[in-house]
Amino acid sequence: MDFMKEFEKWLASPALSGEERAELEAIKNDPKEIEARFYGPLEFGTAGLRGTMAVGLHNMNIHVIRWATQGFADVIAAEGQAGKDRGVAICMDCRNHSMEFARAAAEVCAANGIHVRIFESLRPTPELSFAVREYHCQAGINVTASHNPKEYNGYKVYWEDGAQLPPHHADAIAKRLEEIDIFSDIKTMDYDEAVKAGLIEIMGEETDARFMAQVTAMINDKATVEKVADTFKLVYTPFHGCGYKLVPQALKALGIKHLICEPKQMVIDGDFPTVSSPNPENPEGFYLAIDLAKENDVDFILGTDPDSDRVGIMIRDKAGEFRPVTGNQTGVLLLDYLIGAMKRAGTLPKNAVALKTIVTTEMARKVAESNGLTCFDTFTGFKFMAEKKNALESTGEGKVIFSYEESYGYMLGDYVRDKDAVTASMLLTEMAAWYADQGMTLFDALEALYEKYGYYAEKTFNLVMPGLDGLKDMANLMKSLRENPPAEISGVKVAARKDYQDGSVTDTATGAQSCMELSGSNVLRFEMADGTSVIVRPSGTEPKIKVYILTQGKDAADAAANVEKYGKWVDTLKK
């Protein structure tokens, strides 16, 4: 694509507002910036679109939203009149321009004769997945950039099962977007007129009530919560986002009496003024919550990301200091607790299954299998876990009680097909209260799990590669690791190489080749002679390569030393 030609096309378009035109005029003497914004469109994948908010083809703005929605509308229309009548559910998060973008998407759908159900205001991502299923919609759209920094926004798309779009539909949209012009081929109509015509319907508290009825039906042990309710306390922060209303509602329904919400971060604000990153994976964002927890002698802190699909926890150690719990550890704690709680309540299915991604700790498999469950791996992304859940349950092969990935995402129940921080927050709190009744903190509980199941350790390294050059660097690194795979890493022999692109497995000692069940994803896995796994994959949503070290040791120090040892090899990849 000729980026200067595309820049000039945008500059001349009558679709641009005066403010947007002025933004482009301001960069007309900066070819590098023009190239960054116009060298090509944002890539439409199974996660939809995500990028920084600015005027340009490679950015998130109202024109890109309309264009993406027109492509999606054409795919929905291909389902026939029934698909258009079933329509689309639309949701948005707390970010700047999210409501504006969501309404623009609604206007395009309505102009294409597609019925729209749009939330009156911001809602958690899992409620969008729920709404698609509850109202039997053909599809869903969520305007969110999840836990990305404030400069970002995104556009997630869902299909009729409430999961993010499967690859063949994403490919169909991407192909359609190549065929339509971003300005001249877009249908749109006035929002208020579409509401009057019955093409746009507003969702509000009645949908919240239906969703929350499903969430609270997941409570396993309200009686134990009631036993400790007078003394059990927790601090919660929504990081200025969508969890501010429904997470406290779920915790109160659980029976929590002493819920302390961080007041500054309960304020909805797309600029996220109190944090540099609104991501519960980053412990520094919890500083206000930690202060509040110390003031109130609280052992347990919950934090949900801006669209309330991820949740992170902080726990107090024996020295009285708050420490983060990784997504891997949180998932293992919750899986072990749920199995026990369901056994105690007599609700554990005979063919119970746990799902995890290929980059999630092997400790989850140990917990599942030690308790008589089957554990399956999927690719990263809840659409793949939703797909596996649907496949297992439709054949009667298994009943999935828990699905999770290491990046703080947990899926429970049958009413959503995506990460759900509302339900997960409630059950994590139930778990913390249950352990409190046993005279244990979650720090004690985690130590007990390591003693029971073995000392596992994991770490994710992020090799950030921003901009146009970064995309090339990412591709080159993956190409190099395929063409010249390491024979050893950090002084340990590579026993087997797995390439999830083609599903191939290579035994390095014999050269023998075999195939895996999973294929079709740009991921490399090196199985080491000491049992460690080193996994390398480009992020699907951010400009970085992620390297995962999954290891085990004879004790905590040994496992940590393994992580450090393999981390030194990761450092060499940056050069």
CB 238 within 8 Å of CB 213: no
Do 404 and 411 form a contact (C-beta atoms < 8 A)? yes
Residue bearing tokens 């509040």: 292
Active site residue 146: yes
Are 386 and 162 contacting, i.e. CB atoms less than 8 angstroms apart? yes
Contact between 490 and 566 (Cβ < 8 Å): yes
How do 374-378 and 352-357 pair as beta strands? parallel
CB-side neighbour CA atoms (13 Å) of 513: 4
Q: Which of 146, 308, 407, 533 is catalytic?
A: 146
DSSP 266: G
CA nearest neighbour of 417 among 387, 380, 391, 376: 387
SS (H, E, C) 342-374: HHHHCCCCCCEEEEEECCCCCHHHHHHHHCCCE
Provide the 3-class DSSP secondary structure of residue 528: strand
Residue 182: how many other CB atoms lie within 10 Å: 20
What lies within 8 Å, CB to CB, of 48 at 6+ separation is 68, 154, 155, 156, 157, 164, 165, 170
Identify the burial level of 92 via C-beta atoms within 10 angstroms of its C-beta, where 0-12 means exposed, 13-18 middle and 19 or more buried: buried
Amino acid at 365: R
- Of 131, 51, 137, 39, which Cα lies nearest the Cα of 91? 131
Is 298 strand, coil or helix?
Answer: coil
3-state secondary structure string, 305-334?
Answer: CCCCCEEEEEEECCCCCEEEECHHHHHHHH
- Give CA–CA dist 248/243, Å, rounded: 8
- Cα 301 to Cα 224, 251, 526, distances in angstroms: 19, 13, 36
Is the Cβ–Cβ distance between 274 and 240 less than 8 Å?
Answer: yes
Q: Starting at the earlier edge strand, list the strands of the sheet with 139-143.
A: 49-52, 152-159, 139-143, 88-92, 116-119, 200-203
Locate 516 and state its tokens: 């895996």
- From the number of C-beta atoms within 10 Å of its C-beta (0-12, 13-18, 19+), residue 297 rates as exposed
Q: Which residues are marked as active site?
A: 146
